Each structure stands twice: as C-alpha cells, then as structure tokens.
Amino acid sequence: MLPFFRRLMQPSPTFPYDPYRWRRDHRTSGEKVLSGMRLGLGLVAGFVVLVLAFGGISTLPAGAPAYGSYGPFVSWGMVCLAAFILFLTANRWASIGIAFFCVPALFKSLAVLAFGTNPTSSIPYYRLTRMQSTEILFVCVIVIALTWRFTRDHPAPTAFLDRIALTFFVLATIKQMIIPYSWPPSPLISGLTALLIAWCVYRWQQAGRSRKHQHGTASTFDKLTESQPSPD
C-alpha cells in the first residue's frame, strides 16, 4: 500500500490524446483495433464516472428523495467515489477531459455572440445574453491556457497537485452546471483558482529547474576554464 501512495505523490506521465499525431503510424491493423477499443472503453468509463458525479452533486446537500432516508449518504458516496476515480486516473484524462467541458461551451458562446440570444428558446444556452456568453468565453480561454501543458505533443507530467486541481475543477464545474447561473459563479471561480495554483507551482518548478541547469552549465564551464594552463 505504501509504494502505491508513493507513486501517487510522484509526477506521472500524462497520456497524450493521440500519440501518433503528426507521426507515421507503423502499428498493425490488430494493434490499431485494440487501441481503438481501449479508447472507446475509456470514454465509456469516463462517461459513467461523470454520470456518477452529476447524480451525487445534483442531490447535495439534502440528498435525493428517491434515495430515501439514506439520501445524503448515497449522494456523498457517489461524489466521493467519482472524485477518487478522477483523482487516480487524472494522468489518463488530463489531455482530453478539460476539452470535454470547454470546447462545447466555447462553440456555444461563439454561436450566441454571432447570432444573438433567443429568450423564448427551450434550449438553456440559447437564452444566454451576450454578456454571459462573453464571460463563459473568457473562462474557457483561461482554462485552456492553464491546462495547455497537458495537450501538447509531449504533455507535461501530471503531478500530485495537478491531480487534486483537475479533480476539483471537474467537480466544481459540474456544480456550476446544475445551479442557476449568477454572478459571481462561485463554484467555477473556485475551480479556476485550483487550476491557477497548480499552474503557478508548475511554472515555479520549471523556473527552478532552468536556474539549476544554467548554474550547472556555468559551473562546468568555470571548472573547465580553471583546469586550462595559464599562458606564461
């Protein structure tokens, strides 16, 4: 059990969404089929986890009446189980999971900004005002900027703090989606704050590694210079 927690504390390689993007794929047909089946099963499993999270969060804090007297326990159990799975598998969905939330909202916001709002529509996002769509668009841009390091061809590793931030952001976004929109959107702001903290720590660590590398290079150069014989 202890080695398992030690592995969680260490940065884990982030699974790229498409490891063969912009590269020649030399896999056999069987390997491609197997990879596609794994991707499909992963998407189905992710959908099940999100349904679990939606079902739990939408019934908090009182608990759904359908669950009877154990409603709060069932609701919290669903949320905790979904959070645990999201936390353990964050390095597998970090490169695509955020896009699941941001890309649809991005296009819907652009559609409202381009074609206007329809207050009488039965579709909720058609009733958004242009101001609200601009706010959503701004949030999407921030989220993409804070998580871009996971979507590159060579994604950054998923650290322990990243697991916490990504999991909390997903749960906070679900909470924001099931409540009436109002300003300020407290759940969404808390999720963005978690992503911002993780991003700042990542940049700080990157800067520290860069300084160490430059210092090591300079030290090696100084040693080589000192080892050369001085001219008479």
Q: What is the pLDDT of residues 5-49, one digit of tens each?
A: 777 778 888 877 665 565 666 667 777 677 777 777 877 888 888
Task: Yes or no: say if 159 and 153 are a contact pair by the CB < 8 Å rule.
Answer: no
Express each pLDDT in 51-96 by its tens digit: 888 888 887 765 555 556 666 778 888 889 999 999 998 888 888 8
Q: What's this model's pTM, rounded to 2 decimal places?
A: 0.77
Mean pLDDT of the chain: 77
The two three-digit tokens of residue 225, written as one number: 């210079």
Q: Tokens 């590269």: give the residue.
A: 23
**3-state secondary structure (DSSP) of residue 38:** helix
> Angle at the Cα of 83 (from 79 to 84), degrees rounded to 5?
120
Per-residue confidence (pLDDT) for residue 194, from 0 to 100: 93
Q: Tell me the backbone φ, ψ of residue 223, rounded to 5 degrees.
A: -65, -40
Residue 129 has pLDDT above 90, yes or no: no
| Complete DSSP assignment for 77-93 | HHHHHHHHHHHHTHHHH
Residue 230 has pLDDT above 60, yes or no: no
Who contacts 190 (Cβ-Cβ below 8 Å, separation ≥6)?
168, 172
Which stretches of 116-185 are DSSP H helices? 130-147, 160-178
